């Protein structure tokens, strides 16, 4: 049986009941996908994810990959999973019609992404490489699009984003990889990049690397970086493959998790010139690369939330089958019948904590995707793009941190069995840990949220989102009155938290060390904002469920009652945390930054 347990019913609820995707399906620019087509896609993706895609989950983890003479051979099962994905044309879901894609709305794209990511994270990382073609199409020259992006789609070429260098790490602007002009858009790249996902394999006939490098006369920092298309095999003018380019995998990371994914050190120009093509023939590398980074951050948030969801559902199944101990009310009766562990309070607490967060993170992901749909439908309204920018650190940062934390509770429900490799829990945890680290650590997401998405915007987007949340606080079903009041308090605490950090930042203009007080509380601000957004969405979902209950079938009744329970539990146990974070931010004395290094 497959390890993967999907939650298609909740995805359907989010898409069609909560966010009303039906209102614009079948209409431009999504005219080719109506409700029935969307449902057919979701059902077939779920089947493929649960069967073919999940089939190599264990093999990818336990068959050790080897780098031999710059080449990595994937195990047969991983290739079989990727074949099922590509042969079915599922790589086209996330691509525009101009590249031969489905032209699907972002909501459907990321709902499908959840199913694939939860089923097999390592294979999912290979499968998302084709999305580099979207970036090439949007910023490259027509000739580059035809030469590289089109065959990426039609011939299933791989794709990577190549930023990190060993000494620079997350400080991308400190990268020293060099680019030397040859002629036209043709350059030679020299340097070493590290931690490159899907950097090498024998699965695709070619791999297109999108590489950041610095020309000799470029200014320092990120503004001096340019982006180049560097193919593994050179591409002739007629589209045929030429000789091997001078980019070689010189290292393969031996990782804690997602071991089936090849994370490589790539060396450019070691023995042969590494030919690169300046993207768009303009030196706008960091702006162009952020199109990749933003998509990758969304992808990682989806991956994290999907892993928690299947972890929770595996734990739920076990709790309904595992018989142990008597009910707590019969604890003194030594002859009382044993019960399944889902009847024990501690197990129920752990399960509901996982359920509320798994459903909440899914709600946040699909809401962020819905915002992207609005940006497509209303390009004249800049708010939607700005709101998506605001939500991305939450989707990536909060989902990755919380999923890793709560997967430990998924394992805990199984007790000693969860620690064994007979169950997928320990692999889920190992596969999920990377999500808090790459595409910008959680601390970087917090800094990005405050300085770029709130302060630079003078809080305008956050205030408009706050008004939407306040409407829910002020009006809704009477049954959720307590929860709406808790949401209102959390929103107020969030606003005061932001105010404290703005105050420190303003004061730092005269007293620079005050900025440390801001930096000490940006991650906690991210947590509070994410939880306010999730709490808001879950309460909205609960109101929908309450309205649907009277006419619901028996199966749907249980589902809707679960939605209401998730919202109540989250409001009662999670939203009050915003008050503590606000208090800690307001009373910060900065002493931690004054502590001598030797005292740590």
Instruction: Tell me the pLDDT tens digit for each residue of 52-88.
Output: 999 999 999 999 999 999 999 999 999 999 999 999 9
d(CA 593, CA 508): 15
The mean per-residue pLDDT over the stretch 89-96 comes to 92
3-class secondary-structure state, position 102: coil
- Answer whether residue 477 shows pLDDT above 90: no
Question: Which pLDDT score, from 0 to 100, does residue 573 have?
Answer: 98
More confident residue, 39 or 554: 39
Nearest to 289 by CA among 151, 470, 440, 467: 440
8-state DSSP, 73: P
Give the pLDDT confidence of 105-119 residue by residue, as tens digits: 999 999 999 999 999
User: What percentage of the chain carries pLDDT values higher than 90?
Assistant: 94
Q: Where are the beta strands (DSSP E) in 122-174?
A: 158-162
Place of tokens 């790589």: 91
Give DSSP secondary structure letters for 213-246. EE-TTPPSSGGGEEEEEEESEEE-TTS-EEEEPS
pTM of the predicted structure, to 2 decimals: 0.96
Q: Which of 106, 253, 426, 439 is catalytic?
A: 439
Cα-trace Rg, the chain: 25
- Answer whether residue 1 shows pLDDT above 80: no
Give DSSP secondary structure letters for 449-475. IIIIIIITTTTHHHHHHHHHHHHHHHS
The mean per-residue pLDDT over the stretch 212-221 comes to 94
Question: Which pLDDT score, from 0 to 100, does residue 231 have?
Answer: 98
d(CA 520, CA 523): 8
Confidence of residue 430 (pLDDT cuts 50, 70, 90): very high
The mean per-residue pLDDT over the stretch 233-242 comes to 95
Nearest to 417 by CA among 324, 305, 304, 308: 324
Query: 241 near 205, Cβ under 8 Å?
Result: yes
Question: Which pLDDT score, from 0 to 100, does residue 81 have?
Answer: 97
Question: How far, CA to CA in Å, does 161 sit from each of 17, 197, 443, 474?
Answer: 36, 8, 21, 45
3-class secondary-structure state, position 247: strand
- Answer whether residue 168 shows pLDDT above 90: no
Give the pLDDT confidence of 548-579 residue by residue, as tens digits: 999 999 889 999 999 999 999 999 999 999 99
Q: Is 46 a catalytic residue?
A: no
Confidence of residue 173 (pLDDT cuts 50, 70, 90): confident
Confidence of residue 169 (pLDDT cuts 50, 70, 90): confident
Average pLDDT value over all residues in the chain: 96
d(CA 10, CA 174): 43
Q: Which of 5-9, 63-67, 93-97, 490-494 has the lowest mean pLDDT?
A: 93-97
8-state DSSP, 260: T
Give the pLDDT confidence of 305-345 residue by residue, as tens digits: 999 999 999 999 999 999 999 999 998 898 999 999 999 99
The mean per-residue pLDDT over the stretch 537-544 comes to 98
Question: Which pLDDT score, from 0 to 100, does residue 562 have?
Answer: 98
* 195 sits in which H/E element: strand 186-197
- Determine the number of helices (DSSP H) and then strands (DSSP E) in the chain: 23, 14
The mean per-residue pLDDT over the stretch 28-49 comes to 95
Which residue segments constitute the domains of the chain, with CATH numbers given?
Answer: 8-135 (1.10.540), 157-286 (2.40.110.20), 291-586 (1.20.140.10)
Give the pLDDT confidence of 247-257 residue by residue, as tens digits: 999 999 999 99
Give DSSP secondary structure letters for 416-435. HHHHSTTSSHHHHHHHHHGG
Question: Which pLDDT score, from 0 to 100, does residue 334 have?
Answer: 87
DSSP lists the bridge partners of residue 592 as: none
């Amino acid at each position: 049986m497959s390890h993967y347990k999907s939650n298609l019913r909740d995805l359907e609820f989010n898409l069609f009941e909560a966010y009303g995707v039906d209102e614009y399906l079948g209409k431009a620019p999504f005219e080719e996908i109506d409700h029935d087509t969307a449902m057919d896609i979701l059902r077939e993706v779920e089947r493929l994810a649960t069967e073919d895609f999940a089939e190599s989950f264990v093999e990818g983890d336990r068959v050790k990959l080897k780098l031999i003479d710059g080449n990595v051979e994937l195990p047969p099962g991983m290739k079989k999973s990727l074949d099922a994905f590509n042969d079915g044309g599922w790589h086209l879901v996330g691509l525009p019609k101009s590249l031969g894609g489905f032209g699907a709305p972002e909501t459907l794209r990321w709902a499908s992404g959840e199913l694939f990511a939860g089923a097999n994270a390592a294979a999912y990382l290979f499968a998302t490489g084709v999305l580099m073609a979207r970036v090439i199409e949007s910023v490259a020259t027509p000739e580059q699009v035809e030469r590289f992006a089109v065959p990426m789609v039609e011939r299933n070429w791989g794709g990577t984003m190549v930023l990190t260098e060993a000494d620079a790490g997350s400080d991308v602007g400190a990268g020293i990889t060099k680019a030397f002009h040859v002629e036209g858009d043709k350059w030679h790249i020299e340097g070493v990049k590290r931690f490159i996902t899907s950097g090498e394999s024998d699965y695709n006939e070619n791999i297109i690397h999108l590489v950041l490098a610095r020309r000799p006369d470029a200014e320092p920092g990120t503004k001096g970086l340019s982006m180049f298309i560097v193919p593994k095999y050179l591409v002739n003018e007629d589209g045929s493959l030429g000789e091997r380019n001078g980019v070689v995998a010189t290292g393969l990371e031996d990782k804690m998790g997602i071991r089936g994914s090849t994370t490589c050190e790539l060396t450019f120009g070691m023995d042969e010139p590494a030919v690169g093509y300046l993207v768009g023939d303009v030196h706008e590398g960091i702006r162009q690369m952020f199109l990749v980074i933003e998509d990758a951050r969304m992808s990682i948030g989806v991956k994290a939330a999907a892993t928690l969801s299947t972890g929770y559902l595996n734990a739920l199944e076990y709790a309904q089958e595992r018989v142990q101990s008597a009910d707590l009310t019969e604890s003194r009766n030594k002859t009382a019948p044993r019960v399944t562990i889902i009847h024990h309070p501690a197990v129920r607490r752990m399960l509901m904590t996982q359920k509320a967060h798994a459903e909440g993170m899914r709600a946040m992901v699909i809401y962020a995707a819905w915002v992207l749909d609005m940006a497509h439908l209303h390009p004249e309204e800049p708010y939607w793009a700005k709101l998506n920018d605001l939500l991305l650190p939450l989707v990536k940062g909060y989902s990755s941190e919380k999923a890793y934390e709560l997967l430990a509770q998924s394992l805990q429900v199984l007790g000693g069995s969860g620690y064994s490799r007979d169950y997928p829990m320990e692999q889920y945890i190992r596969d999920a840990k990377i999500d808090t680290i790459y595409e910008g650590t959680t601390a970087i997401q917090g800094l990005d949220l405050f300085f770029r998405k709130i302060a630079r915007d003078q809080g305008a987007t956050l205030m408009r989102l706050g008004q939407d949340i306040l409407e829910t606080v002020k009006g809704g079903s009477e049954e959720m009155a307590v929860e709406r009041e808790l949401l209102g308090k959390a929103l107020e605490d969030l606003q005061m938290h932001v105010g404290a950090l703005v105050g420190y930042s303003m004061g730092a203009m005269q007293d620079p060390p005050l900025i440390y007080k801001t930096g000490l509380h940006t991650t906690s601000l991210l947590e509070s904002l994410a939880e306010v957004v999730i709490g808001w969405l879950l309460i909205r979902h609960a109101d929908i469920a309450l309205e649907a209950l009277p006419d619901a079938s028996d199966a749907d009744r249980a589902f809707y009652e679960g939605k209401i329970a998730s919202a109540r539990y989250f409001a009662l146990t999670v939203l009050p945390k915003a008050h503590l974070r606000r208090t800690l931010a307001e009373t910060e004395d900065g002493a931690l930054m004054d502590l001598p290094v030797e005292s740590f």
